[in-house]
Structure 1
Amino acid sequence: MAFTIWRHPRPCGAAARCIGGRTDLAVDPRKAKRLAHRIRAHARRHGLPREVVTSPLARAADVGRWLRHWGFRWRVDAALAETDFGAWDGRPWADIPTAEFERWMQDFCGFDFDGGESLAALLRRASSWQPPCALAVGHAGWITAWQWAAQRPGQLPTAATWPAPLGYARPAA
């Protein structure tokens, strides 16, 4: 089955903050609707069933709500949620001490952000996920982990090899 996942639209209030699975930010309704239109057109163009799965976080789920409004079957899957950045989640990046970043870089895949989810755990979660349909809306960290696991099975990234995140409202295949 062909599968396409989109990153959610840019959330309100995310600028200069560490935003993960614990911080549920909304998106501008017009941006959610715009992405839903693009997904609907993609489904029509490729003859895909009118089904979508999203993360439970508002920035992805709001797109699913629009699609449901237009007759799509919409499912929510907690496995698609963004990385849980633990004690960092929701904090301004500028407030996180340099020593904390150094701890992360020393253990890039094992660091759990003081009570959150390590990159190794995210990679396991993303690689074990099976798409229930051809269309999804998720988050940059999860999408990057899913692509990494598919392209480099069994390999762990370093800070230097971890790819840049997918842009907002962009598809990854």
Structure 2
Amino acid sequence: MAGFAVWRHPRPRGAEGRCIGGRTDLPVDPRKAKRLAHRIRAHARRHGLPREVITSPLARAADVGRWLRRWGFRWQVDAALAEMDFGAWDGRPWASLPRAEFDRWMADFRGFGFDGGETLDALLARAAAWQPPCALAVGHAGWINARRWAGAPLTPATWPRPPRYGERVDVG
């Protein structure tokens, strides 16, 4: 498939001030999941796309897929779309992380494993290798940024800003 549209999931409950990755499965307001599902359904209609969607298994993305399935979409779940695994940091308040640990990450931005988690290089490889089975997906900011990364030098300063909650990003 040449290109596809991926939406960032709706804002999860309980994420404020916390490092949220692939190990922390936070809920979303059902109304926000339904609202995003409506936008995806309208996009599919407008562009004549098949009624198929793939999501991350995490509730903040999968809840959107559940709505679409109720409306006749074929819904698939793929763990390869999950957010980056922040290891021992996942779910913790950012303020609780010692400055020395954060500095360690910044010094090895692509290779730091978050004490048992995934490196950015591993996320970049996972996102680049993923083959979309359909034209519509719901995922996470880190994965989306990794997928659209152009391969230029990657540093903390050049990492792109995350897409807004519910934002559509067209990627190849």
Q: Same fold (TM over 0.5)?
A: yes
Q: Does 2:92 align with 1:95?
A: no
Q: In 1, Cα distance between the equivalents of 2:56 and 2:45?
A: 22
**Aligned residue pairs: how many?**
169
Give matches, 1:26-45, under 5 Å. Answer: 26-45=27-46
Give matches, 1:138-149, under 5 Å. Answer: 138-148=139-149
TM-score, scaled to structure 1: 0.96
Can you list the C-alpha shifts for 1:141-170, whole angstroms capped at 9, x where unaligned? 00000000xx22xx4511111111111000
Which residue identity does 1:99 align to in structure 2? A
- Contact residue 9 and residue 32 of structure 1 kept, 8 A: yes
Where does residue 130 of structure 1 map in the other structure? 131
Where does residue 160 of structure 2 map in the other structure? 163
| Offset, 1:2 | 3.7
Q: In 1, Cα distance between the equivalents of 2:35 and 2:156?
A: 33
Where does residue 119 of structure 1 map in the other structure? 120
TM-score, scaled to structure 2: 0.97
- Contact residue 2 and residue 134 of structure 1 kept, 8 A: yes
Q: Does 2:11 align with 1:10?
A: yes
Q: In 1, Cα distance between the equivalents of 2:98 and 2:166?
A: 31
Can you list the C-alpha shifts for 1:101-149, whole angstroms capped at 9, x where unaligned? 100011000001000000000000000001000000000000000000x
Aligned-residue RMSD, C-alpha: 0.8
Q: In 2, Cα distance between the equivalents of 1:161 and 1:34?
A: 32
Which residue identity does 2:163 align to in structure 1? L
Q: Secondary structure at the match of 1:4?
A: strand
Q: Secondary structure at the match of 1:75?
A: strand
Q: In 2, Cα distance between the equivalents of 1:131 and 1:60?
A: 16
Q: Does 2:76 align with 1:75?
A: yes
Where does residue 169 of structure 2 map in the other structure? 172
Can you list the C-alpha shifts for 1:37-67, whole angstroms capped at 9, x where unaligned? 0000000000000000000000000000000
Q: In 2, Cα distance between the equivalents of 1:170 and 1:86?
A: 26
Q: Secondary structure at the match of 1:26?
A: coil
Q: In 1, Cα distance between the equivalents of 2:131 and 2:154?
A: 22
